[in-house]
Amino acid sequence: MRIGIDATVIYGRYTGVARAVVGLIRGLAEVDDENDYVLYCGRDIPPLGELPANFRWRTRPMDVASRLRVVYWQQSRLDADAREDGVDVLHCPAYVAPMRGRTKTVLSVYDAHVFTHPQYCSWLNRMHYRQVMPYALGRAARIFCPSCATRDVLVQRLRVGESRIVVVPLGVERRFRRILQPDVLEQVRTALELPEQFVLFVGNLEPRKGLPRLLEAFIRARKSTGFPHKLVIAGKPGDSAKAVMHAVDAPHAREHVMALGYVSDACLPHLYNLATAVICPAPFEGFGFTALEAMACGTPVLANESGALPEVCGDAALYVQPRHVEPLAEAIRRILSDEELRHRLIAQGLTRAERFQWATTARVTLATYEEVFGG
């Protein structure tokens, strides 16, 4: 069997979807040495390191940083390229696929924010995904979702038949682990000019990640208790970052909050290890990489009791109801003051994170490819 994977989302500084595609490719390379893989990219091959001989890159003459050029290629050439390459099953792992074509196609959808939370999406995303996703969902032989929460949205809001949906959780990279060398951690603390004690947010800086509510709750909690921790925010600006950055830079927030910007892959595990706790305040996550990575690093997690976060964290997080500020402020006070709670969450989080392996994700994905190929 020959499998094609649209890997054009892998470029620049990787965020959630790109990291999901990278993890899947590496997982498939680990478990499958029998089938052939064609990985479609732009004119530059992504730096994924050496892959097995049954994986080959197929470059296309376009700059994948140009959204319009990628969209044009996906809709006008991807299916033809796949047929030319003898692809049996084409995996489009980033929400969209050719609206018309003859190649058997599977699709990955991580959330449906353009339909459920359009106010948090850019006009370009709304226009593109709302037009293309219904066609892609309609013609896909199978649809991968990373959680039951995302599956339920597709079934209830977009009327996708549940029998075509495969729920397959994502994995956590091995680099996310406990780091037990204090000198190494202190080097990173010094390099990033981090405070001695802090709680951490990791993710794109945009309102849909719950940042405005988190900022208000954290400042309220810190003022009422006097604890020394700061809120450290790590991530690059998202589609609607202006309002968030304005709130972070406000005079009343500066003494409480530190914004790092995008943190490199090399530093991110150290950042998790240095944090007292990680907060995941988004009202809806289709999966929850941040929570999973924090658990794997032995850092307590405070998460919204909504979306996919309870599926990812299980009993290894302190939960809070979304939307309101004061319950989040109270949860922040609790996770910073209750040492016994933190120790329990650390132990349960380390055990929980072991369940999420990219090899497992790859095996389920491969079994679905085989089912579609034989169907």
**Residue 16 maps to a domain:** yes
Question: Looking at the structure, do residues 284 and 255 belong to the same domain, yes or no?
Answer: yes
Residue 75, exposed/middle/buried by CB under 10 A (0-12, 13-18, 19+)? middle
Total structural domains within the chain: 2
261 DSSP β-pair partners: 234
Residue type, 146: P
**Residue 116 maps to a domain:** yes
Question: Looking at the structure, do residues 241 and 131 belong to the same domain, yes or no?
Answer: no
Question: Looking at the structure, do residues 233 and 313 belong to the same domain, yes or no?
Answer: yes
Residue pair 24/361 in contact (Cβ under 8 Å)? The answer is: yes
Question: Looking at the structure, do residues 91 and 222 belong to the same domain, yes or no?
Answer: no
Question: Looking at the structure, do residues 29 and 113 belong to the same domain, yes or no?
Answer: yes
Question: Looking at the structure, do residues 230 and 159 belong to the same domain, yes or no?
Answer: no
Question: Looking at the structure, do residues 280 and 342 belong to the same domain, yes or no?
Answer: yes
Question: Looking at the structure, do residues 162 and 195 belong to the same domain, yes or no?
Answer: no
For position 331, which CATH number holds?
Answer: 3.40.50.2000
| DSSP one-letter code for 237 | B
Residue 87, exposed/middle/buried by CB under 10 A (0-12, 13-18, 19+)? buried
Residue pair 94/106 in contact (Cβ under 8 Å)? The answer is: no
- In the sheet with 165-167, reading across from the earlier edge strand, the strands are 55-59, 36-41, 2-6, 89-92, 104-108, 142-145, 165-167
**Residue 289 maps to a domain:** yes
**Residue 92 maps to a domain:** yes
- The whole-number pLDDT of residue 209 equals 87
CA atoms of 239 and 258, how far apart (whole Å): 21
Question: Looking at the structure, do residues 29 and 151 belong to the same domain, yes or no?
Answer: yes
What stretches in the chain show pLDDT beneath 70?
A: 238-253
Question: Looking at the structure, do residues 318 and 188 belong to the same domain, yes or no?
Answer: yes
- The whole-number pLDDT of residue 68 equals 92
**Residue 155 maps to a domain:** yes
Write the pLDDT tens digit of every residue in 240-267: 556 666 666 666 667 889 999 889 888 9
pTM over 0.95: no
**Residue 177 maps to a domain:** no
Q: How many CB atoms lie within 10 A of CB 314?
A: 14
**Residue 176 maps to a domain:** no
- The whole-number pLDDT of residue 214 equals 93
Q: Identify the H or E element spanning 291.
A: helix 289-296
Please give the residue range of the domain that contains residue 36. Answer: 2-171+357-374
Question: Looking at the structure, do residues 220 and 126 belong to the same domain, yes or no?
Answer: no
**Residue 191 maps to a domain:** yes
Question: Looking at the structure, do residues 245 and 158 belong to the same domain, yes or no?
Answer: no
